[in-house]
Structure 1
């Protein structure tokens, strides 16, 4: 009696009786006939098989069947010997995955081959060979289980590799489109987008995130991508990391400004990224407009953060003045430097930002910051003393807002 296999080892094949070996040997002369029959007749019933090129059926498929039949017969003769391995099955499985044959069709072809071999054994069995036939069926089923496992494993690994390569190619193309490093003429068509598109910038807050780890980061990105794909019912083009990123989606005719799409994405993404996510959506009429749209969307989010606007969907109309004030020119550095005297006082910077957002209402500012109104007054007086800015005046308020926005360029 053979001993039980160790964990991870295959159970040894039992040694067939001389009668079973003799029955199997009578089928050896039929190997070529059976292989041709399967490749040209039996497999034709399988979905998608008829569309395969004739040379694939007559050469690759027939050769794989012959290999399987001979492997079975050799193992019957010498179950513990060197009958061969499943390398050809694995090679063909990888090829079928690359060609796009469905896995169920591939597995059914192997099951059909096992059934045809069983029919051949049954037709060869004579009176009194019932026991030998049962031995061979047991042997066949055990071998078929191993073949199916090897084929399915190889197919899925190859399919996963191909999918990863496909996604990376699309990401590389999108990355090049966003930064302007690839010619834009046909890029959208290659990415599967026709006509106008929407460029979305997504920002995820760092400060409320749990301690980062590679596993948690990858999981977050995968969940974000899954939500995007489910929401838009397609594989969304996205360049995402744990801080957010950009995505490119077709523009719907009945949603020309992208507001409806942006609101739906915000609602769904909050389920994964939390309530503090921010989104901006900007339209692009053609591929050449995508880089500028991406920069604009990112600027809208940055400015909305700098102004203290609540998280959610941000639109250009919400920050028109702030967007204009944040544009850089020869005066930008001087304006930003107006707040240098309080650069090391984040409490004063935050008080100024919230006070401007609350339209100079000291009580609203105090409530937002959790302070007493007198504390707000003291801080504003200190800001005026250190910077020289007359915050209550229209000019001082505009300068302070512009300085905050220009300094926000360096904010993470």
Structure 2
């Protein structure tokens, strides 16, 4: 509660009563200064009016306390707390709000010193009676609004967390409930009709204990919002299948291609700035609960199946993987017959040494024969023989665009299959070793 109000002389009371009716300049100066502070500088017109009204109310309240000789009543304190609670929803940081109170106190004191300049007889009373009260009063009010602000922030976090859990359940378990999806997204203050792109982020959190992991994710999400140039509240975040998933708002009216490229550029900047990011998968733009879920699946596949290029000191390997880069292979993978056909092409070449390596080098060199021969370290005639042998075995034409596309996808699919098989063999070997160890321990 604010401190006891000092008794003031009739002379000062008369001056303050007049000043209280004409203190608009102090309010306007405070308001103009606030608009340069973080959080205040991006407010809507309606929110700015609320700020101006709250400054005027605070100034009137201080004068009224001095003139009445008593601290503000509980309903007035509740109204002050309501101002603080609204600042949470207006995204005004607490430090900016407290700074606003200090600026207001300074402007009111500046106004009072003008009284002393005009009437030196009041200087002693203003300095030794009013000045200490002003400092104590605004210190107590700042503590009051900070408590209200933090309480509202806590309530908002719990409420938002509940909504995010509800959104998670809808997207992954009830994607056909369009009405509840729309209501939940809008309750979060977001546009349910705006398309979004999902990101699946692999984060290294080994140095964070479970008790502080959520706080680390909060900090990372704030940094991600800055890199993607969006407000933190616009970045929808969930934890799914051991990865951090973001749904990023797209630019309405832009093509899928442009949104995909823009997201990839921002994600690359994020990986450069944040060494804890092991990899990021990017899904395709989509909308609605089912579309959000599909984009997440695509982002996860991009992380799991995108080809991993080896980096160098001059050009590190990318940690950003786009589903759009493997979209054709994934569509093929979903068709069992087509998949078997394309895999069989690579398997047929595997029956003769060097043919697969030759074809891979040929694609890596952009189908340029001289560069391919140099990469393989063979004579051009040897390369010609191998390419002709590939055509003979497969009945293919390496100058036919359709065959080039087929063989390119076949090699990529074989690479993914080989990598998956290698991982499976490693897990099986590890499991056998664990079983053997357990048996040894039992004996």
**Aligned partners of 2:291, 2:247: CA distance in 1, in Å?**
12
**Aligned partners of 2:268, 2:213: CA distance in 1, in Å?**
20
Give the counterpart of 1:98 among 85, 99, 113. Answer: 85
The aligned residue for residue 235 of structure 2 is 237
Q: 1:223 to 1:323 in 2, by over 3 A?
A: farther
| Per-residue Cα deviation, 1:124-152 (whole angstroms, up to 9, x for no partner) | 774xx764554225534543562464366
The aligned residue for residue 47 of structure 1 is 31
Q: Which runs of 5+ in 2 are unaligned?
A: 33-46, 311-316, 337-354, 358-410, 429-443
TM-score norm. by structure 2 comes to 0.50
| Residue 232 of structure 1, CA deviation | 1.5
| Per-residue Cα deviation, 1:253-293 (whole angstroms, up to 9, x for no partner) | 26436144224314413543536323132221556522222
**Aligned partners of 2:77, 2:325: CA distance in 1, in Å?**
58
Asked if structure 2 preserves the Cα contact closer than 8 Å seen for 1:304 and 1:319, the reply is: no
| Per-residue Cα deviation, 1:293-340 (whole angstroms, up to 9, x for no partner) | 22333344345599x999541425437556755799xxxxxxxxxxxx
**Aligned partners of 1:165, 1:70: CA distance in 2, in Å?**
42
The aligned residue for residue 65 of structure 2 is 68
Aligned ranges for residues 11-410 of structure 1 at < 5 Å?
24=9, 26-28=11-13, 35-38=20-23, 42-44=26-28, 46-47=30-31, 51-52=49-50, 64-66=61-63, 68-69=65-66, 73=69, 91-100=78-87, 103=97, 106-116=101-111, 126=121, 131-140=124-133, 142-144=135-137, 146-147=139-140, 149-150=142-143, 153-154=146-147, 157=150, 160-161=153-154, 164=157, 168=161, 171=164, 174-175=167-168, 178-179=171-172, 180=175, 183=179, 184=181, 190-192=189-191, 195-204=194-203, 209-214=205-210, 216-235=212-231, 236-241=234-239, 243-252=242-251, 253=254, 255-256=257-258, 258-269=260-271, 271-274=273-276, 276-285=278-287, 288-303=290-305, 312-315=320-323, 317-318=325-326, 320-321=328-329, 325=333
**Aligned partners of 1:326, 1:298: CA distance in 2, in Å?**
16
**Aligned partners of 1:33, 1:216: CA distance in 2, in Å?**
55
Asked if structure 1 preserves the Cα contact closer than 8 Å seen for 2:239 and 2:245, the reply is: no
The aligned residue for residue 342 of structure 1 is none
TM-score norm. by structure 1 comes to 0.53
Asked if structure 2 preserves the Cα contact closer than 8 Å seen for 1:279 and 1:312, the reply is: yes
Classify the secondary structure of the residue corresponding to 2:285: strand
Asked if structure 2 preserves the Cα contact closer than 8 Å seen for 1:171 and 1:237, the reply is: no
| Residue 245 of structure 1, CA deviation | 2.3
**Aligned partners of 2:297, 2:77: CA distance in 1, in Å?**
47
| Per-residue Cα deviation, 1:54-86 (whole angstroms, up to 9, x for no partner) | 99899x658733553258x56xxxxxxxxx589
Asked if structure 1 preserves the Cα contact closer than 8 Å seen for 2:196 and 2:285, the reply is: yes
Asked if structure 2 preserves the Cα contact closer than 8 Å seen for 1:173 and 1:182, the reply is: no
Q: 1:121 to 1:172 in 2, by over 3 A?
A: farther
| Residue 249 of structure 1, CA deviation | 1.8
Classify the secondary structure of the residue corresponding to 1:264: helix
- RMSD (Å), alpha carbons: 5.6
Q: 1:137 to 1:25 in 2, by over 3 A?
A: same
Asked if structure 1 preserves the Cα contact closer than 8 Å seen for 2:198 and 2:284, the reply is: yes
**Aligned partners of 2:139, 2:277: CA distance in 1, in Å?**
49
**Aligned partners of 2:106, 2:277: CA distance in 1, in Å?**
51
